Amino acid sequence: MYTFIYAACAIIQAVLGILAVRLYLNRRSISAFTLFLPIIAVVWDNGIVALGATIGEGSLLVALSWPRFIGHAIFTPIWIITAIGFAQRAGESRLSTKAIAIGQWALYAVCVILGFLRSVVYLEMIPATEGGLFYYRNGGSFPGPPWGSITMLLVAFICAVVVLRQAKSPWMLLGSLFMLVASVVPTKIIGFVLTNSDEVVMAASFVATEYLL
């Protein structure tokens, strides 16, 4: 059952990735470019988790799992740039200053460093099984929560409010709220499907926002 869910998420994300790339080709911008990078990383992540039981434990799955952790470290926080770009395009002039232009990349760089420490430097791949899945999770000892993901989500939420107010587009806010709820509410309360569909919903909301703005 869980294998099917991860496979379905990978396929849906692949479709969203293709749509995001096409949107970028139609209107080349930093926000459109940074939009599809995390989606591609999550396609790989979900695909490898879905195929883990078929591949089996060993060096091949370990090698294929490395990009999962590296992708999360590098690409997850880059939606900070995407979200601010959406807010700027919606007409929020206060975010179009030189300080914001420098600050957003500085914030992204800090998040990447913290993510790289957590997901790569302190990475300890531990075999895990769940609902028919076999994959490697990170059992490393880097302290604290995943600040890159948390920071990205907070920035996305704030920018989503701006987009709603300025452009009357609710999708980014709905996606951010869904991911926030799925991140903080225990899986046993809202269920495995909702918990693991947060990235799909978030990606879909960002793709919709890129299309509509």
Lowest mean pLDDT among 27-36, 153-162, 163-172, 187-196: 187-196
For the cut 60, the answer to whether the pLDDT of residue 189 exceeds it is no
The alpha-carbon radius of gyration of the chain (Å, integer) is: 17
**Tens of pLDDT along 66-115?**
999 999 999 999 999 999 999 999 998 888 899 999 999 999 999 999 99
Torsion of the alpha carbons at 38, 36, 88 and 178, rounded to the nearest 10:
-60
For the chain, which domains are there? 2-212 (1.20.1070.10)
Q: How sure is the predictor about 143, in pLDDT bands with cuts at 50, 70 and 90?
A: confident
What pLDDT shows up at residue 131? 84
What pLDDT shows up at residue 184? 74
What pLDDT shows up at residue 14? 96
Residues 151 and 77: beta-carbon distance below 8 Å:
yes
Query: Whole-prediction pTM value?
Result: 0.91
- Alpha carbon distances (Å) from 212 to 82, 90, 101, 163: 14, 10, 23, 11
The whole-angstrom separation of Cα 151 and Cα 157 is 10
